[in-house]
């Protein structure tokens, strides 16, 4: 018995040491991510560059491709997704549903054209390279994707979320997500050898559209009904209510086949109806200010620069980037032409970043064996360039457009 006790102590000590080591690794990874986000975000802002650009570049620097101080493991990926959820929740809080309705026609046109044109360009480029139909469709689908989180953060930094062009971008991004995820489900099914009929596609689309309509149709009247009770809650309790609503709707959106960020955005819009009468926004903003930069750094962590090893891949990736930009900009110019050339161009450029959405599409294609390593690398380069360059271009164009164009409300 006397020998068993030391043995148990040794085993327990080893387990504790292993657990402590795992916790230490998680904390050091988080430390480097938060430090890099803070430093590079501040430097970017000082240089007049959107903070998100600095944060994405910070992720590349500390990631596996260069310094290898942090890796995009399950912990950081989950935390990053939570950051994206709260970013879009905060953006929703600054967006009134009636403002989106005012730009509904333009948003729908921008979204549809921003899917059809890039899809056709990407599919055509894939066929030109000698890829099969399904592989080329995956390339087209990667070009369809829009990372609303990146553009939304830039618009938030600029303080123009209530501008007409910004409302069109946000509205188009929601529609883009619904149609884009439906397309991804169809293309993934084709890649797996499944036959997907029109009825299945209609069901996927119907569930997504129905969820959005249900949240807004039920949520907005309900929040107005409970407004008097909410006004009697303390700041801390109202903050808890807001977080529960945001997380709950974000979780439910995944059941409907949508990204959780869309549910969070919708929840924010519902709560925006009472934010002027009920105080809680400042606390939500504090939480978002901590989590959202983690999301952008992790986007950078996921970009593996080692795959960009050959001139052929780089040239093809640059061509794909040009096609990606053309597809969204032309979609914006045509879809929002009623707003005038300057604002329509802002809309098109705002839809350009692919970010984490493009990475997800490319990873799915590579994992399923539908696209090869070279095609994956080309898409990766396109994602990197559109993610970094589009926010810069958006800010420059906004300055050139002048305060009158920016101040135009929905």
Listing DSSP states for 101-168 in one string gives: HHTHHHHHHHHHHHHHHHHHHHHHHHHHTT--HHHHHHHHHHHH---HHHHHHHHHHHT-TTBHHHHH
What range does the domain containing 151 cover? 29-407
102 vs 352, higher pLDDT: 352
Cα(258)–Cα(246) distance, integer angstroms: 15
pLDDT tens digit sequence for 264-310: 989 999 999 998 889 899 999 999 999 999 988 988 888 778 877 78
Place of tokens 């529960």: 244
Question: Taking 60 as the threshold, does the pLDDT of residue 7 lie above it?
Answer: no
Please report the pLDDT score of residue 196 as a whole number: 63
What pLDDT, on the 0 to 100 scale, is given for residue 337? 92
Whether 22 is covered by a domain: the verdict is no
Q: How far apart are CA 180 and CA 388, in angstroms?
A: 22
Looking at residue 403, what is its pLDDT? 67
- pLDDT at position 8 is 46
Please say if the pLDDT value at position 82 is more than 90.
yes
User: In 3-state terms, what secondary structure has residue 409?
Assistant: strand
Q: Where are the beta strands (DSSP E) in 249-380?
A: none
What's the CA gap between 347 and 340, in Å, rounded? 11
- SS3 sequence, 212-274? HHHHHHHHHHHHHHCHHHHHCCCHHHHHHHHHHHHHHHHHHHHHCCCCHHHHHHHHHHHHHCC
What is the rounded average pLDDT of the residues 135-157? 85
Q: Is residue 2 part of a domain?
A: no
9 pLDDT more than 60: no
Whichever domain contains 57, its CATH number is 1.20.1530.20
The predicted-structure confidence for 17-45, as pLDDT tens digits, reads as follows 555 677 888 899 999 999 999 999 999 88
Tell me: the pLDDT tens digits for 213-258?
Answer: 999 999 999 999 999 999 999 999 999 999 999 999 999 988 887 7
Inter-residue contact 85 to 261 (CB < 8 Å): yes
Residue 13 has pLDDT above 60, yes or no: no
Q: Which letter does DSSP use for residue 351 in this model?
A: T
pTM score, whole prediction:
0.79
- pLDDT at site 324: 95
- The pLDDT of 6-11, averaged and rounded, is 50
- Indicate the average pLDDT of the chain: 85
Helix (H, G, I), strand (E, B) or coil at 336: coil
Does residue 314 form part of some domain? Answer: yes
pLDDT score of 118 more than 90: yes
Q: Is residue 318 part of a domain?
A: yes
Residues 163-180: what's their mean pLDDT? Answer: 85
- Number of domains the chain contains: 1
> Under a CB-based contact definition with an 8 Å cutoff, are residues 325 and 352 in contact?
yes
Of the candidates 328, 354, 332, the residue with the CA atom closest to the CA atom of residue 106: 332
pLDDT of residue 17: 57
Query: In this predicted structure, what is the pLDDT of residue 406?
Result: 61
Decide if 326 is inside a domain.
yes
| Over residues 124-136, mean pLDDT | 91
Q: pLDDT tens across 325-334, in order? A: 999 999 999 9
**Can you tell me the mean pLDDT for 161-170?**
88
pLDDT beyond 70 at 168:
yes
Arithmetic mean of pLDDT, 64-90: 91
Nearest to 85 by CA among 258, 211, 219: 258
Looking at the chain, the whole-number percentage of residues with pLDDT higher than 90 is 40
d(Cα 35, Cα 28) in Å, to the nearest integer?
10
Which residue is listed with tokens 């327990």? 12
Residue 188 has what pLDDT? 72
Taking the C-alpha atoms of residue 180 and residue 205, their distance in angstroms, rounded to an integer, is 10
List 163's β-bridge partners, or say none.
409
7 is a domain residue: no
């Amino acid at each position: 018995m006397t020998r068993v006790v030391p043995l148990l102590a040794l085993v327990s000590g080893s387990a504790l040491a292993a657990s402590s080591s795992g916790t230490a690794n998680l904390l050091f990874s988080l430390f480097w991510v938060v430090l890099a986000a803070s430093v590079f975000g501040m430097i970017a802002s000082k240089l007049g560059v959107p903070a998100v650009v600095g944060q994405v570049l910070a992720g590349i620097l500390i990631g596996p491709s260069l310094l290898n101080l942090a890796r995009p493991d399950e912990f950081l990926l989950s935390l990053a997704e939570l950051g994206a959820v709260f970013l879009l929740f905060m953006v929703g809080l600054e967006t009134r549903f009636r403002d989106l309705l005012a730009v509904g026609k333009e948003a729908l046109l921008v979204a549809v054209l921003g899917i059809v044109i890039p899809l056709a360009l990407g599919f055509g480029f894939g066929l030109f390279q000698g890829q099969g139909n399904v592989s080329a469709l995956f390339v087209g689908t990667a070009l369809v994707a829009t990372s609303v989180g990146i553009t939304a953060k830039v618009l938030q930094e600029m303080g123009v979320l209530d501008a007409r062009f910004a409302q069109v971008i946000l509205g188009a991004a929601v529609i883009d997500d619904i149609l884009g995820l439906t397309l991804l489900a169809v293309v993934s099914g084709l890649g797996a050898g499944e036959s997907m009929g029109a009825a299945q596609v209609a069901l996927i689309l119907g569930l997504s559209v129905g969820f959005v309509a249900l949240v807004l149709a039920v949520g907005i009247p309900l929040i107005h009904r409970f407004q008097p009770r909410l006004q009697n809650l303390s700041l801390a309790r109202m903050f808890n209510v807001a977080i529960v609503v945001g997380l709950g709707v974000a979780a439910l959106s995944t059941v409907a086949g949508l990204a959780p960020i869309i549910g969070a955005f919708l929840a924010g819009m519902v709560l925006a109806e009472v934010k002027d009468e009920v105080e809680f926004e400042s606390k939500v903003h504090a939480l978002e200010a901590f989590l959202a930069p983690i999301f952008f750094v992790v986007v950078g962590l996921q970009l593996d620069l080692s795959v960009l090893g050959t001139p052929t891949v780089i040239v093809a990736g640059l061509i794909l980037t040009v096609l990606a930009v053309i597809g969204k900009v032309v979609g914006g110019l045509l879809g929002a032409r009623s707003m005038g050339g300057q604002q329509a161009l802002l809309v098109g450029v705002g839809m350009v970043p692919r970010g984490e959405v493009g990475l997800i599409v490319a990873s799915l294609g590579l994992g399923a064996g539908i696209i090869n390593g070279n095609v994956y690398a080309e898409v990766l380069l396109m994602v990197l360039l559109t993610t970094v360059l589009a926010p810069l271009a958006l800010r420059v164009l906004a300055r050139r457009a002048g305060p009158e164009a920016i101040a135009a409300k929905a």
